[in-house]
Structure 1
């Protein structure tokens, strides 16, 4: 008799003290600015960034407990449609402010005084209000007289626009498919069906997280080669590749889960194959073209990229293992 046990392969494609508690959240507003104040029990490390479509402001608080209950401020007549929060990971509490439109923001932390605790202050600024007021009250100055100057060479610095933030893309790969059914359970259960169901549930969990988006390499009972799976992940700009398998064993008592990452030996073998096709190898070298590089330089660039990927994969694998240990048995 066979029993399935879960195994995951994770590949990244590019990851104390007492916890702070939240004592309250306040909101105030002027004509062009909205101020959000989070009262805290202690200093806090934090990170802010925005997301588009729809407009959101994300506030990550490190080592902060998720409040069991908290009174949220009235959002009527403010640019904020909703405030939600949840544990992002074991060390991060994430607040997401759903906005009516994209706004500029600034932030600062304040130390306690006689009446108030530590505070994180976030100011949302509506530049359109300021521009409207300026147009109504300020008249343009008279143009300055032109001054004749000798022609001279000047150097103009080209401003490089900041890279827009985007969602983290997780490629979820359900193993096998089509004519490749994978392992078979004692009652005829097929691995390809089990892992596809798991992949779909995992994709939903990922898509429910702010700032994350899932991509399924297959969402039906179709056969895809390994190279096609990887190519699809790259085409969708995946930051991480997770392959899901459900292995079978002849002993019924076998159960649990395991996590695998690509070994250094496997990475070296893969690098050797990729160097034979330098055009495709550019994907694994951080987007750097290797076509015009000699073999030694191309190998060094690819090796550096793979080492960083392996280190990040191990970090993610350890995090996944910690989570799996809380819900069941794991294989070493």
Structure 2
């Protein structure tokens, strides 16, 4: 009889506490703070806000707490205190987040994935703009004194660890470390400046990464990653650029958002804003912008691969094409750099070492610098200090037109045609053109 009673008590206890709150993680970023509740099962929850003082209250139904609140790492300026309180419903567990300002929370559950189990994610965007870190404002430089701006995107971050190696090293830490090293090298080079899309361990929306580069008026976007496959054999670095199919889809998306097209760089946005919504003229300008972006991306990738091949193993000696969100910008040459395979035990060990990370960063810097030394952007400091190396030549690549090539080298189409004795504007892939001096 006693054993039956004990079993009944145990079953009652299990039904009363159908879930467990196992940990609370806080991820602050410049735009918001993300809170992640790790749970033993799918959460059932309710939440509401309180004011004076500001609080977010979450009731977790049939949940028991296992969290030591004193052990929670919280560096968010928005969340001042995390505590529990008495819920109205029996069997529920009430969490209270005391806040420094009003918020409009976005709350959603996540199912198990990778090393993570059930989670409840709470995003708290900063409503008070004065609380956000102020980014440096760079005024327009006089003609000939502009810096070449390279946006560096450290892949993944925060709740998104990226690939995880056999020894449990996480891609997000490797990419941030390489990105910081690359930024240091670029910022030490006269005439160049780096902008990081993330500066810490937090997640940045994939579309927002291109926006950060655009707002910084970046000339190039490099997204740093570490590859992973099920087979532990593959090794080596690779460079990826946008496939033509993705490029066509992205241009269609830009056409549907006329009000945002004025943000395009290189003068295209200003011209588009004056087309009065003419879809044919707008498409022409976007075609030219995308053609140039993809052609420049390919050319830069060749310089980077040549530099990386001197210091690290290459998985592919030629640039590869993929439909990746971070490469979608039609106005900024964009490349995704796979620094190596974190899924390979030997390469994983290399990728976490400072020396190897510095080698990769140095090779990326050398490749980018080599390209812009040979192809200085008009109006930049690098163009003003470039040392003439004799006649320049350009080999026509897929997607390039005569107008794109002329614009890249800062010469007129008529001068380029005359210098090469061309009778039409048509050029062929593989054709070699002599580039007249600017």
Q: Which has the higher strand share?
A: 1
Q: Which has the higher helix share?
A: 2
Superposition TM-score, scaled by structure 1 size: 0.49
Whose RCO is larger (CA < 8 A, sep 6+)? 1
Superposition TM-score, scaled by structure 2 size: 0.38
